[in-house]
Amino acid sequence: MTKFISICALVTSILLLTSGRPVKTYSELYRPQFHFSPEKNWMNDPDGLVYYEGEYHLFYQYNPKGNEWGYMHWGHAVSTDLVHWKNLPIAIYPDNNSTDKVKCTAWSGSAIVDKNNVTGLQEGSYKTLLAFYTSRGCGQRLAYSNDKGRTWKKYAGNPIIPEAPGEETRDPKVFWYKPGNHWVMVLYRMPGGDKAKEGISIYSSTDLAHWTFESHITGYYECPDLFTLPLDGDSAKMKWALLGGDGSYMLGDFDGKHFTPESGKKVLDYGQNFYAAQTWSNAPDGKRIQIAWMRESKYPGMPFTGQMSFPTELSLKSTPDGPRIFRTPVSEISSLYGKKMDKTDKNIIPGLKNYNLLKGIHNECVRITGVFDVKSSNMFGITVRKSRKEAGTEISYDVKKQLLTCIGSQMPLAPVNNKIKLDILVDRASIEIFANNGEKVITDNFTPAEQADDMELWTHGGELMVDSLEVHEIKSIWRE
């Protein structure tokens, strides 16, 4: 009895000692476990995405002073696999010694590798990394690094494009245009401050320091991107895609100076939290890899604000409605897989006992993939992060309306051969749904109840055939 009392006293002492301790960084209640977020403070747009010497660089809009927007710097992280990230010191600071919340702060932009030392800035054996960014109200500027992005210097000839009085300009994206043997910059611009004229301006350069205006396209807002994709994997059928801040895009032709649309605007993401998407330059194997800021991130009591979407690989595929950009999670996610559950050829009948194929799976972070034959179902779906006390969050598909819904986001989705294919990433504070091989995507944030980690597969009104269903536990990128 004495021994039992001693053990109880020891346990009580441990609980009392640890009860007031702060939660370890990257273990907080709403901390993303496999999506990037900063240790603390505000984060928004991804910037300067570039691959060099085995590292993917992720820069981002960052406020080192607090958990709200303002005082923008370029935060910095690197990864060798697009999954595990290492935080590095702040890369780019405001210009002109600005301490203002907005004036001359380091806004969004892009980065490239100066492979041929066009700028003459290279020192040492490493190629120079060039970062093009908007110094808010102080023009487009250039910073460079000769040590694989660890330290940065400002170009002496800044600004490389001055901001005209009364104009809005920001978010330069720079890339090499091989047929014309010159560099191209796409830049959000509101000529003369006229809202009706806002869009994307195209500039060209042969030395990366002096830029010539070429053309302007209206109807876009912020964070432009312009790149090529092979249609159905055929390099002889390349198409250009022009994107804006909300992810909307047009396909067309580009001659190095003018973009000619061949389609109207298309939706890249139907969620409420996908914004400022950018793609990596110099990515290996010619891959087009994209990441976005999951905007409007509100996580009560957390030391940080903002997270990135999970990196996706883009492809261009033919559909009955014409060519469309498809997005799928990068394959490196498999390095995070833990326990696995898989089931095939299961017929689900509403109301029958044990029809929930996801019963008994308990985890906050999972990847769920499934192929569902809608058969006679009126509506089916998966509910995640539920418990006895909490209803959880529904991902539902209305068969008659051909509409997929999650957290208020709605996405039109037609079955293919009467089947719906879903690939769902669930993290502590986000849900990403890639439907029908990534043809359509929803990106949403959420704040589920603590310790609610049950899941349910359900159907209403009729039978649902589950051709296949896999669930992978996703391990944290922040813990060994």
Q: Is the dihedral of CA 119, 288, 134, 61 positive or negative?
A: negative
SS3 category, 197: helix
Omega cis (within 30) before 159 = yes
Catalytic residue among 45, 171, 423, 453: 45
Rg (CA), the chain: 24
Rounded to 5 degrees, φ, ψ at 475 are -80, 155
Backbone dihedral region for residue 67 (phi beyond 0: left; psi -120 to 50: alpha; all else: beta): alpha
DSSP line for 242-306: EE-TTS-EEEEEE-SS-EEESS--B-S--SSS-EEEEE-BS-GGG--EEEEE--S---TT-SEE-
Residue located via tokens 């720079």: 174
Structure-token pair, residue 444: 């949403």
Question: Which has the closest alpha carbon to 110: 38, 176, 199?
Answer: 176
Rounded to 5 degrees, φ, ψ at 331 are -65, -20
Cβ contacts of 5 within 8 Å, gap of 6 or more: none
SS3 category, 307: coil
CA-to-CA distance for 255 and 261, rounded, in angstroms? Answer: 12
Is residue 76 within 8 Å of 152, Cβ to Cβ? no
Residue located via tokens 């890899």: 289
253 included as an active-site residue: no
Structure-token pair, residue 281: 């330059």
Q: What amino acid positions are annotated as catalytic residues?
A: 45
